[in-house]
Amino acid sequence: MSVAATSLDIAEHPLVVWNGQHGLPDFDRIDESDFEPAFEVALEAHRRDIEAIANDPEAPTVENTLAAMELSGKPLARVSSIFWVLAGAHTSDVIQALERKIAPRMSRHFSAIHMDEKLFARIDALYRERDGLDLDAETARVLEKTWKRFVKAGAQLGAVEKERLAAINEELAGLGTRFGQNVLADEKDWVLFIAESDLRGLPEFLRDAMAEAASSRGRQGSYAVTLSRSIYEPFMAFSTRSDLREKAFAGFTGRGRNGGDSDNAQVVARTLALRAEKARLLGYRTYAEFKLDDTMAKTPEAVMRLLEPVWEKAVARVAADASEMRAIAAEEGNNRDMDAWDWRHYAEKLRLRKHDFDEAQLKPYLQLDRIVAASFDVANRLFGLNFEELSGISAWHEDVRVFEVKNADGSHRAIFLADYFNRPTKRSGAWMTGLQSGYGLGDGQSPIIVNVMNFAKPAIGQPALLSMDEARTLFHEFGHALHGMLSDVTWPSISGTSVARDFVELPSQLYEHWLTVPQIIRKHAVHYRTGEPMPDALLEKMLAARNSNVGFATVEFASSALVDMAYHSEPEAPEDPLSFEAQTLDRLGMPKAIAMRHATPHFLHVFSGDGYSAGYYSYMWSEVLDADAFAAFEETGDHFDTELAEKLRRHIYAAGGSRDPEELYKAFRGRLPSPDAMMGKRGLA
């Protein structure tokens, strides 16, 4: 039962006082109608906290200013964390309406904090006196990062410029919300129902997933192609019907580009214009320079020095693969040019021809529950963690699973919640977030970490089967989760994944490597019917074929990263972003038969919020690090070398943002990497 919103007491409300089992929110006592009044009260409480710090008559100290700020606003943090989990993983009309209201409101709230002259004066005084304060290294870094955050948020601007910047940030927050909701609307509304006679070429696992997707939409006896990658990508690979592949491709690439209410063209144009204006207000030539100022890359030029050589090698590989695929198509009597909806289909045939291997052979061995167990097994071998599934605990949806995470000595480490299956109320993709981070300041708190996926839900009584790409995605997001769960810092603002954007993907991408080490894949990849382990011959084929379509995958990714950098490297934003995208791809020589992984109208990383704007390159930047980091384990001859695993835990997974990322990486590896290991990993060396 919901607590009455009209008599909301923030000190007692279940959105703030988490009295559920294991310190979780009691979701049974939370209703959508609770959020708006809770936000109002929590925002006001946080404003009062900040006002008290800013007006403190005592001289500023680390305790009464920096620590007080870090610990302020806990009710707002708790209300927000639950709300944003629901907004992504289980939304509704009520949640979306409030999201459109609250995102700009939150932006205005935090702009006011960062532009508060009295508050910044206290931070500035501490920063100027820092060398004489005898600060430990972590506190010194938090003070520096806090000062820089205030400056980049406009603390040193004049009154007129501050007001304009606050207005820009508020409008950008609303645009990001609108962009994401438009994409979700298109994904939710699009479905292609087909009959059994249209299933030629589709393996059993895909037929079952499509039948379940149709049944969940009230079409028993039919089959549904949806825009979930768990269905869309294997359908594009296995369907022999080019006409149906074309329809699915049009739906997938047309998200946010439909000319209707959910069209994102003008949202993007306005977003880019505001970002460019924001950069100029803050003294930067371009938005890319603004965003990269506090990253490992530092400059757009450094990003391009990474992306351009990779792009050239990938395009050359695509040309070679396309020639071989056209030959296969010609053998089938298809002599037309290859279209974008043909690529995955013929790439699968080329892989089968070269390696005698296709995804349908592999998938029966990749049960979701066993891959989850594999991810836990690796965490136990590397870091001594143990995972116990908890029953009878409610969350935001019945599919959510809850685990207690314990250290090797049996002490509590974290709570982990996993929400694996696709549904219309969930935005696409996969991500890690948290209900709360772990830190030691004040009374401290332990992490409550969340992973969200979009795997196809199986029929009742059937196991969920994953592709190898989906299994890697699970390991990837669990790597992010470990970054949050293993965090061992004092200060909240540098906990867990609060690191430079082009460093944050290192723990996640590195973790993917352990999926296919022999001790793990042989133990956990067992056939869902027979229980037999994956045959060595099939494993060897899978490993041999893993780079068979690397040109396509690299062009898909790199084109998105290059367009992102192009958008944000212009002093003046393009008036017509879609024309700018087309011109950029033409200049790059984008292969005709490949589409960007994230075309502009549905590029959620870049336009649904600001997280990866001028930052999508960071996956590849981190890939340079992860390839080199895993090579360190290979060099020892033991994928779970105890001494190296402890260095990995201490300097990468537990350190958060407590030190500069270059310093952290060198503490682990002894040096910085070159791109060679990454190029070799992708088979592009």
Q: List pLDDT tens digits, range 142-165.
A: 999 999 999 999 999 999 999 999
Q: What are the tokens at 621? A: 């930047």
pLDDT at 7: 57
- Give the residue from 456, 389, 395 showing the smallest Cα distance to 205: 456
Q: Is 289 an annotated catalytic residue?
A: no
Q: What is the gyration radius of the CA atoms in the chain, in angstroms?
A: 25
Strands 412-421 and 386-390, bridge-based pairing: unpaired
Arithmetic mean of pLDDT, 239-264: 95
- Give the residue from 568, 232, 613 showing the smallest Cα distance to 429: 232
pTM of the model: 0.94
> Does residue 3 have a pLDDT over 70?
no
Question: What contacts 424, CB < 8 A, 6 or more positions away?
Answer: 188
Question: What contacts 257, CB < 8 A, 6 or more positions away?
Answer: 263, 264, 265, 578, 599, 601, 602
8 Å CB contact between 38 and 79: yes
Q: What letter does residue 381 receive in the DSSP assignment?
A: H
Buried b / exposed e over 16-30, threshold 16 CB at 10 Å, is bbbebeeebbebebb
In whole angstroms, how far apart are CA 198 and each of 190, 254, 449, 613? 18, 23, 42, 40
pLDDT at 9: 84
pLDDT at 681: 84
Least confident of 4-8, 434-438, 499-503: 4-8
pLDDT at 498: 97
Choice among 470, 477, 505, 581 that is catalytic: 477
Pairwise CA distance, residues 35 & 37, whole Å: 6
